Chain A
Amino acid sequence: MINYSFSGNVLTINGKQINFQEGIKNVVEVDSLVIVRIWNSSTGDIQKQPFNNVYAVDDNGNIVWNLKDIIGKDGLYTMIRLDETNMLIAVEFIGMNYIIDVKNKQVVGGRAFK
């Protein structure tokens, strides 16, 4: 269990503050990492949203990866959540729901939905 909180653009983790370029939209905790999705909530305009907007932060407050490192290409993520097996699900704007094994930093599946 990591001690963290977030407000606006700032994630506070074990007392250390990390500033993101946009507001933090949602956060999940898995495998000793806090996974952060940022989003420009002032607009629904997709072209004003930050690409590659999912980061993993360790309990020392270090950004250890961006989701692009795992997926292998640019993406705009409209949701992140954990499934019942504690896999990270990242929903991309084109429709893909990537299933990610955070521990091994691997995409283990995925499917697109309309």
Chain B
Amino acid sequence: MGEISYWELSSSQQALILKGLRMPEDVAPELLLNRLDALRLKYNVEEDNYIDNYLIRAIIEEDLERQAVETWKLRIPLYLENLKSRIQSNSYIDFINLSIEERKAIQYALNVRQNGDLDEYTMNRLDAIKLSYNIPDIGGHLYAINGAAIDAIISEYELRAAWESDNETLAAIIEFLVNNNIGELFYSAVVLWASSIIPIGAAYDAKVLQDISKIESGLSDISFTGKIEKTAEDLNAFWKSKGYTNPPYKADIPAYQIKLTNNYNFVRVYDGVHTQEAGQFIMKLEDITNADGSLMTAQQIKDKYALEFLPKYVADADIPANTIINCGIAGRIDGWGSGGGLQFDLNSAYTGNFTFRCNLPN
């Protein structure tokens, strides 16, 4: 095969090359030429402006490499299961004697960078697996994989796969960090930090259930009809349109809209400067009351409802039957409070009977 200018190719041939390069058909010519030059450099193709069989081969190799990356996660369990059956007949295999794919599959399961090397991170994780699964050392083969070890690794893989399925965004961030060689220590620190801020995996599920249960329990003594499940995002968007710069409701859990069928006596806290006796956001008295019957302190309430200003007073808020109200969990707002309190609002209705109740303790 000789050589030909890209521009002399038929449109279907050009499309095929662009597909191989994963570039859109309307790509700017200079981007395409840059990409071809980069491939020539990577695959040691002689520098010229033509398409030849060497460049075509480079494009194919590049595409195959990408396909391998894209299907890698699907192949990991196959490598691990295959390794398990091999180990059953060999009793153990040293990590360094495994195929590169098997080593990378183990590294994926152990949540370290998948480079195939027996590096310090991989060694540390293999040591940790042996400790946590009580797997004895094999004399002279510190990093050998035996039947117990591959079972433990497969368990770790299943945990990681399940976690990634439940936490797609965080998993994508981690994958980005790994693929860009940002380093295990850094991304471990990021994950540790994130998990200290937000519940992750099973802890997240438990927290959501706890929040839903808090709402259900809070509604149990209120007579209402027409309960509609909303999202916190719906309510937050609604209040944003009313001038609330920070979202009042905790995201990612349900919120509800109900229509009261009887009057209900809520309360409201306010500072008398930025917020007043009469207003939209209310709560149940029991939710600002301690177990001994005393009121929570102003600071505790500020934190529980993520209020910008320290409240000073409590008002009774008698909300009449037929009022449509919203309820959900107060969201955390950095610098204001951690939220978590069961919160109601009047859905912007001009209603309610508000009267001063008492001062709040400091």
Contact = CB atoms under 8 A, between A and B. Distances in A.
Contact of A114 (B278, B281, B352, B353): B281
Contacts of B245: 111-112
A95 B347 CA distance: 12
B82 interface: no
B281 A47 contact: no
A78 interface: yes
A104 interface: no
The bracket for how many chain A residues form the interface is 20 to 34
B308 interface: yes
A15 B350 CA distance: 37
Given A44-B354, A46-B354, A95-B243, A114 B277 contact: no
Contact of A76 (B305, B308, B350): B350
A24 B39 CA distance: 80
B244 interface: yes
Interface in B243-281: 243-245, 248, 272-281
B309 interface: yes
Given A113-B308, A114-B307, A44 B244 contact: no
Given A47-B351, A110-B243, A93 B275 contact: no
A39 B277 CA distance: 13
B350 A91 contact: no
A22 B348 CA distance: 24
A38 to B, nearest CB: 15
A94 B280 contact: yes
A96 interface: yes
Interface in A70-112: 76, 78-79, 81, 91, 93-97, 110-112
Contacts of A44: 277-278, 315, 353-355
Nearest to A96: B243
Contact of A46 (B244, B281, B351): B351
Main secondary structure of the interface of B (DSSP, over half): loop
The bracket for how many chain B residues form the interface is 20 to 34
A7 interface: no
B244 A112 contact: yes
Given A94-B280, A95-B281, A114 B354 contact: no
A97 B354 contact: no
Given A94-B348, A113-B308, A46 B242 contact: no
Contacts of B248: 114
Nearest to B278: A78
A43 B243 contact: no
Contacts of B79: none
A91 B354 contact: no
A93 B242 contact: no
Given A46-B353, A112-B243, A114-B244, A97 B274 contact: yes
A47, A81, A96 — most chain B CB neighbours (10 Å)? A47
A91 B274 contact: yes
Nearest to A45: B353
Contacts of A93: 278-280, 350
Contacts of B244: 95, 111-114
Nearest to B309: A113
Contacts of A76: 350
A95 B279 CA distance: 6
Interface in B23-50: none
B187 interface: no
B313 interface: no
The 3 closest A-B pairs by CB, nearest first: A112-B243, A78-B276, A114-B281
10 contacts: A45-B353, A91-B275, A91-B276, A95-B243, A96-B242, A112-B244, A112-B245, A113-B309, A114-B281, A114-B307
Given A46-B353, A114-B244, 10 more contacts: A43-B353, A44-B315, A46-B351, A78-B277, A79-B272, A79-B273, A93-B280, A96-B243, A111-B244, A113-B274
